[in-house]
């Protein structure tokens, strides 16, 4: 059974810092891995999708990497801003099933 783990569960940083969020998964047979952002009480916004055959994806200040063999992904946020404060969710897509989510990392960026 696929399990997805995110570390740390919470993170507080001052504005301007670069930071890394971690995601690990137990079964490497995945179609893709996705990172989502969720603001309190709101829905999910897709940030980045890394296909199984890819190593990384970039969007603006965000860079996500994927290492299938080790079952790991990282989300790198450059020059963090208070507006980045949210919960970040990692999810893996396995063939024939729905997404399997980690419990998320809650990020707080102080000005």
Partner 1 sequence: DADVTQTPRNRITKTGKRIMLECSQTKGHDRMYWYRQDPGLGLRLIYYSFDVKDINKGEISDGYSVSRQAQAKFSLSLESAIPNQTALYFCATSATQGERETQYFGPGTRLLVL
Q: Where along the sequence are the contacts to partner 1 (CB under 8 A)?
A: 4, 9, 31-32, 34, 36, 41-44, 46, 49, 51-53, 89, 91, 93, 97-104
Query: With respect to partner 1, which residue has the nearer C-beta, 21 or 36?
Result: 36
How many other CB atoms sit within 10 Å of the CB of residue 10? Answer: 10
Query: With respect to partner 1, which residue has the nearer C-beta, 36 or 77?
Result: 36
- Residue 20 Cβ, how far from partner 1 at the closest point, in Å? 19
- Residue 47 Cβ, how far from partner 1 at the closest point, in Å? 11
Phi, psi of 83 (to 5 degrees): -70, -10
């Amino acid at each position: 059974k696929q399990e997805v783990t995110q570390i740390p569960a919470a993170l507080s940083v001052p504005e301007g810092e670069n930071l890394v969020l971690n995601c690990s998964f137990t079964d490497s047979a995945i179609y893709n891995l996705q990172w989502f952002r969720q603001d309190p009480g709101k829905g999910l916004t897709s940030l980045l999708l890394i296909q199984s055959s890819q190593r990384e994806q970039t969007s603006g200040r965000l860079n996500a990497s994927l290492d299938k063999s080790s079952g790991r992904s990282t989300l790198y946020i450059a020059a963090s801003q208070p507006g980045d404060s949210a919960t970040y969710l990692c999810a893996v897509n396995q063939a024939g099933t729905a997404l399997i989510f980690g419990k998320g990392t809650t990020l707080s960026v102080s000005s």
